[in-house]
Each structure stands twice: as C-alpha cells, then as structure tokens.
Amino acid sequence: MGGANDVWDEIQNDDYLKQIVYKDSSTDQPVSLTSVQAISATLAVSEQLSRLTHGINLLERELHVQVLENHEHLVSQAMWVDRLETILADMQANVQRLLSSVERLRSKVVEPFNKLETQTVMLSRLHATSDLLRRTSRIQQLTKRLANSDAVRAATIINELDELCRDVDLSGLDILQEDLRLMRTETQRVEREAQQMLAQGLNTLSQQEVATAFQVFHSLGTEEREVNQLLEKTLATIKSSAEKALDIQNLNQNSTTQDRNAKAKVTPGRASGSTYPGNITNFRNALWTGWEQVLSSLIFTHCCQIALVQKVLRNSQGINGFTATSEKGSDIVLTFWNKTNEMLTKQLSEAAQSSSFVKQALEGEYPKLLRLHLDLHKRLQADPITSNLFPNTGDCGHQFETAYLSRSIARLLDSVHGMFSSESPPTTEQVDILIRTITNELSVSLVEDALSLTVARNIGKAIQLFYLKGEQMLSVGGEATQVIEPPTAGQMLNVSVANIVYYLMNQVRRVVTNMASSLPASSTGELNKSLANADSLTRQILAPLVASIQDSIE
C-alpha cells in the first residue's frame, strides 16, 4: 500500500496530471476543460506527452502491483461471478417455465369463464323476460276485474297492481298502456269514493264506514297522507270559525240584529262596519253566543270525529281484516288537541289586541270563558267516543285570568275603602253591598276549583282590610276605658265597630253555609281562616274595658 501512496503523491505533486485526475474541491466535479487548457498552454506538447506517458506508466505499474498482491481475491471474485451467471440462467429458465404454465392455465380458465358469463347474461335476460311476461299477464287479469269491483276490492287489486309495477319499467310496452291508463283512472275513482265514505262516516260517526275508508287508504298507500289532510282541514275549519266568532265587525252586526230598537235607525256619525259596538250588552251576548257555538258545536263535533279516527287506527285488527299501520294513529287526538288549544289561544289574544271591547269582555267575564271551555271538556269526558282521550282543558283563555283577578280584588278592596271613607263606622247596608259583591265573586268563580280558591283568598284579603280599617278607627285612651260615667262617644264608636265586624262575620258565614254544597273545601277553609281575626278585634276592644272594670271593683 506504500507504493500506491507514492504513486498518488507523485501525481498530486504534478500540476498537469493533478488537473486531469483529481476533482475540483469547490464543486466536487472534474476540473473543467478550460482549466486544463490554461495549464497546458504553459507547457510544450512534448512535455505534455511526456508527463502523460509517465502518468500512464505509473498507473500501469501500480495496477500490476495490485493484481499481484490481490491475485487470490480476484480469482475468487471471478469464480463467484461465474456461479452467479449460472444461477441467473437457471432462474430465467424457471421463470420461463412458470410463464408457460400460467399461460396454459389462463387459457383453461378464461375461455370457460367467458362462456359462463355469456350464458349467465342470457339466463338473466330470460328470467327478466319471463318475469315481465308474468307481470304483464297478471296486470291484464287484474285490470279486467277493476271496473266491476267495489272500493275495498278495487283498492286491494290496485295494491297488487302497484306491487307488480314496482321496480320495473313498463312504459315501453304498448300492450299495457291501456291497462296502466285504466289503473290510474280507477285509482282516482276509488280514492274519491273512499274520501266520500270517510266524510260520510265522520258526519254520522260510523266506525264501520271510517274503518272501511281507511282500509281503502291503507291499500292505496295514502293512509298517512289522508290523516294529515284530515287534521289540516279540521284545524283550518276551526280557525276560520274562531276568527269569524271573534271578528269585531261580525259581532257588531249580530249585536245590531239583536237590538231591535236600533234596526230602523243608524246613530248619526256612525258608519256601517264600525268597530264601536252600539250596545255593549248585545255585543257581549253575541260574543259569548258565537264562542259557545264554536266550542260546543264545532270543536266538540271535530273532537268526536278525530277520536273516532284514532280508535279505528289504533285497532290492531279492524273491519274486514284491515290492520292499520299509520304512525299518526297513536297520537292523532293529542296532536289535534294541542294544536287546537294553541290556535284558539292565539285567536283570543289577537282579538283582544285588535279590539279593546273584546279585551274588556274576555277579561271582565273570564269565568264565563272558562266555563265554556270546562263545559266542552265535561262533554268530551262524558261522551263514550271521546271519554279519557282529552285529559285536560288546555291553557286556552288563561291569559285573561290575571287581569280578571286583578279586577276582582279591586272591586272587593274598593268596596271596603268606600265603606270607611267617612269617620263613622260602616252601616249594615254598606256591609250588605260588600256581601253581595262577595257572593257574586264566589258564584262566578265556582266554574273551577283553582279559580274559586284564588277568589276566596282575595275575599280574605278584603276581610282583613275591613278588620284593619276598623282597628284604625277604634278610640283608645282613657275615654275608651272609663266605666264611671255614661258611655262616651269613643266607647260608642268602638261598640259600633265591634258590632259591624260581628255583623260582617255572620254574613260571610251565612254565605259560606248557603254555598257549602257547591263551594270547594279549600275555598271554604280559606274563608273561615279569614274570619278568625274578627274575635281578636273584638277582644282588642273589650280587653281594656274589662281591665278598667276590674280596677274599679278593686
């Protein structure tokens, strides 16, 4: 290896040979031709040839030395090359044999596969043709029966025809065009007959007709659509009737008709169609009559009809083996009832916003509105078709309850304040007026236990105010407790207050006794609780006087 280093050192020390053998250190590329030419320009040609010859000799000598030193290793490498060539030749022969085998196998597989594929396509086409012929034959047989079949039988046939026409294109078959046209015509006819049957069955509440109609709809695949259309149509009818019953101009016309004295003349300055009612009493009568008709006639009828539809749809096995599958069947009544309550609530609110007269009537006579809705619910609970299907009255009209209760307690408290407007105690006549107000408030609140309880609490507040006003009027001090002289004016005042409080207490108890059969127990308890303070007021008047008597005796 030392000789090799000497050779390379000698080449490296020669500027000319170094440029040819070594790479440029900056670019790691062979030295460019330009650089070689630049160095060659400084040397003669003979000198260049001499140096090249010397360099070649050096390399040949070094190559000879390396061959001698590594002779055995080179021979070994040559032997391995021969062996590798032999192995590669064997591998090539094996690959060629494998390719030949694969080609033979391919010829044995592809040809049968192509034949099988062709036969499969032919078989599928034969099957499709056979199925099409079978469908065509069956369609022609069924369409011949359509014209002379009733709605139920025709619907069953149409259902089978739909199954035959499903998932297959029959538009290109001229032989079936007349049958398909007849099928569409008969479908429309059967659907119309079923709709008429449903309408007639709902009008007469005939379960058999309704069930038969829905059997037809089920066969036609329109059961769900018919239920939705029935709900939409029913709700639209109720909405229209509610709007008409609450329309201010319509109410004015009805109230004018009721007022016979106003038929022959029109008040000067009041145009026809005015939103100002000519007679408030007739106006309110028209309002409540119209709303009662909406609830007791229209909505009750539709509730019965919807309940009948739900009963039919819920029957797992109906008439003629019809099995209902409509998802609406399980909750159609609940859906209808909720939407009806929402719509009526909205209509009442909009009517109150558009007319102050309607608002005053709804707020001032809220118990009447509540009674109408409760009467509807009672009828629904009593009817065998709708029993237990409408569990609550809904929130319709409850938006006017707060205003009514505010007016109710205002009437009670104003009556008490008016009785104590002077320095003298209230008279029995004034207390009787308050009792009549209390009786009236209790009477109109009997439509609902919750309303009655709230009114009873308001009455209790009025009674407590009466006690408070009476207590503030009492005379205190020595004048009220002296027992030596004749009764003073203060003592007479206290006696009058005690008597009028006692009179009020007895009158309220009489009212409670008279209404015991209709007044809820919770309301009775609330009123009795408000009367408990009457005794304490009497004791407050008598206690100082009794103490003074005891002192005088001692």
pLDDT at 292 over 90: yes
- Helix segments in 259-331, DSSP class H: 280-293, 300-314
Of residues 12 and 109, more confidence is placed in 109
Among residues 138, 135, 146, 142, the alpha carbon closest in space to that of 169 is found at: 135
Distance CA 445, CA 159 (A): 58
Nearest-CA neighbor of 440 among 462, 418, 470, 464?
A: 462
Evaluate if residue 322 carries a pLDDT over 60. Answer: no
Which pLDDT score, from 0 to 100, does residue 174 have?
Answer: 67
Angle between helix 177-204 and helix 71-146 axes, rounded to 10 deg: 60
- The residues facing 30 across adjacent strands are 23
d(CA 112, CA 134): 32
| Range picked from 49-53, 143-147, 525-529 for highest mean pLDDT | 525-529
Predicted local confidence at residue 320, as pLDDT: 44
Amino acid at 111: E
Q: What local confidence, expressed as pLDDT, does residue 209 receive?
A: 92
Residues in the chain: 554
**Exposed/middle/buried for 502, CB within 10 Å: 0-12, 13-18, 19+?**
middle
Quick one: pLDDT band at residue 544, thresholds 50, 70, 90?
low
Q: Which helix (H) or strand (E) holds 201?
A: helix 177-204
pLDDT of residue 439: 94
pLDDT at residue 143, rounded to an integer: 77
Helix crossing, 300-314 with 207-220: angle to 10°? 60
Give pLDDT tens digits for 379-432.
999 988 888 888 776 678 888 999 999 999 999 999 999 988 888 888 999 999
pLDDT tens figures, 475-509: 766 665 665 666 677 777 778 888 888 899 999 99
The predicted pLDDT at position 530 comes to 87
Specify the pLDDT at position 36.
56
- pLDDT, position 177: 75
If phi > 0 it is left, if psi is from -120 to 50 it is alpha, else beta; for residue 150 that is beta
How many of the other CB atoms lie within 10 Å of CB of 322?
A: 19
Confidence (pLDDT) at 321: 46
Q: What is the pLDDT of residue 203?
A: 94
DSSP for 494-507 reads HHHHHHHHHHHHHH
Question: Angle formed by the axes of helices 71-146 and 45-69, to 10°?
Answer: 80
Query: In this model, does residue 329 exceed pLDDT 80?
Result: no
- The C-alpha atoms of residue 205 and residue 223 are separated, in whole angstroms, by 19
Tell me which range, 95-99, 105-109, 156-160, 396-400, is most confidently predicted by mean pLDDT: 95-99
Quickly state the pLDDT bin for 265 (edges 50, 70, 90).
Answer: very low
pLDDT surpasses 50 at 271: no
b or e along 386-416 (b: 16 or more beta carbons within 10 Å of the residue's beta carbon)?
beebbeebbebbbebbebbbeebbebbeebb
Q: What is the dihedral of CA 223, 226, 228, 230, to 10 degrees?
A: -140
Bin 242: left if φ > 0, else alpha if -120 < ψ < 50, else beta: alpha
- Which residues fall within 8 angstroms of residue 32, CB to CB, at 6 or more apart? 24
User: Model-level pTM?
Assistant: 0.69
Q: Indicate the helix (H) or strand (E) that contains 29.
A: strand 29-30
Residue 107 has pLDDT above 50, yes or no: yes
Mean pLDDT of the region 239-253: 89
The answer to whether the CB of 158 falls within 8 A of the CB of 186 is: yes
What pLDDT sits at residue 266?
45
> What DSSP assignment string belongs to 216-242?
HHHHHT-HHHHHHHHHHHHHHHHHHHH
Q: HEC states along 144-159?
A: HHHCCCCHHHHHHHHH
* Res. 281 pLDDT band, cuts 50 70 90: confident
| Mean pLDDT on 356-371 | 91
Q: Is the dihedral of CA 490, 494, 497, 499 positive or negative?
A: negative
Select the more confidently predicted residue: 418 or 544. 418
For residue 424, what pLDDT is reported? 84
Helix (H) or strand (E) holding 24: strand 23-24
Strand partners, 29: 24
What integer best gives the mean pLDDT of the chain?
81
Contact 333, 307 (CB under 8 A): yes
| CA dist 234 → 196, 226, 229, 375, 385 (Å) | 15, 12, 8, 21, 18
* 167 φψ region: left (φ > 0), alpha (ψ -120 to 50), beta (else): left
200 near 206, Cβ under 8 Å? yes
Cβ 342 vs Cβ 239: under 8 Å: no
